[in-house]
Copies of this chain bind each other. A is one copy, B any other.
């Protein structure tokens, strides 16, 4: 594809003269294509084609492919963390709160495969772009704060054993929720797609919640 110009239909008046809307539109298209093909696999032309505007605007607003990718990554993290904020665990007993958090994480990751894939891609790139982003680092401290608070409550109430590390706990929750989405293609290719069917995923969810709770429970 050599010439990616917006078609007539795309050129609705609402889009023009609204930089923020144009940028959002581009980021959304970029997310779709980067998540699908990776950083080097993604084509600017394909992103442009998914856009309501033209290829030229991508360069106008984002400079180059790498900067577009970096901002797409930031948007991906921000969107997901926004979702997580809505989870209110304050009023619950520690174990209940933790169970809810684990289940929520499992569900949330399943619902956002493009985010998972962006993180996979970023890992392939050794987190180069994430390391440059202050925005993302700040976003993620929230997850640890949540867990720290739950652990504190659980230890105080005697529900949890002592010495729990919030980062380790976050790691364990993430590992299983992430892997479930990230490795679905190879895992289902090797061991069958039925593992990812509704019922089996519900059962897996229960098991993961159970594993985390057993692991944090006292004695």
A12 at the interface (CB under 8 A from B): no
Q: Does A140 contact B (CB under 8 A)?
A: yes
Partner of A123, one of B170, B182, B214: B182
Q: Is the CB of B124 within 8 A of A207?
A: no
Give the complex CA separation of A39 and B131 in angstroms: 23
With both beta carbons as reference points, the residue of chain B lying nearest to A188 in the complex is identified as: B127
Given A179-B178, A185-B123, A210-B215, also A190-B38 (CB < 8 A): no
10 residue pairs of the A-B complex, CB under 8 angstroms, read A2-B63, A37-B124, A38-B38, A119-B183, A123-B185, A167-B191, A168-B203, A171-B187, A178-B183, A211-B215
Q: List residues of A whose CB falls within 8 A of some B CB.
A: 2-3, 37-41, 59-60, 63, 117, 119-127, 130-131, 136-137, 140, 144, 167-168, 170-172, 174-176, 178-180, 182-192, 195, 203-204, 207, 210-211, 214-215
